[in-house]
Amino acid sequence: MLEKSSKQPNSRSCFLCGRANSIGLKMSWYNDIKAQKVWSELVVPEQFNSYPGVVHGGVVAAILDETSGRALLLGDDDMLMVTARLELKYRRPTPTNQPITAVGWIVKGGNGRARVAGEIRLADGTVTAECQATVIKPPAGFFESRGWQEEKPFWKVYDD
């Protein structure tokens, strides 16, 4: 069982965590400092299926991409990087309309480049998908050119 040490910030518009995104998943992540992992519990609605009852593989990839990358936020809410490479293994279908847990951790840290990993688990612990990713510090000006300064006040911890 993963522990809730602290909650991570969310944004306003992100597909996965954005509180104001009407079609988003509105996920929340928690730090487990003791285990050095981050995690989120969610239920993916049927509207995000590929086949009936199965979460679309692209949505699974997005959940794993975000969750593994958020492992870098364990010690610093501003350690924002971008994915340079994402490797996925789909072990079995991830079901819609059922509780799942996404877990992420750091494989190898670094200031400009890191290796992170993640997995999606069913309530019984069965892993449905896993990933490893290489994330990098974006080039100078990346955030400024994409409106991050206007969005940054909304990058905060929200009440559930």
Please return the burial class of 90, using the count of CB atoms within 10 Å of its CB with bins 0-12, 13-18 and 19+: middle
Candidates 57, 62, 76; CA nearest to 24 is 62
What are the pLDDT digits (tens) for 117-140? Answer: 999 999 999 999 999 999 999 888
What are the pLDDT digits (tens) for 76-122? Answer: 777 889 999 999 999 999 999 999 999 999 999 888 999 999 999 99
Residues 45-52: what's their mean pLDDT? 98
Question: What pTM was estimated for this model as a whole?
Answer: 0.94
Q: Is the predicted pLDDT of residue 4 greater than 90, yes or no?
A: no
Residue 157 gets which letter from DSSP?
P
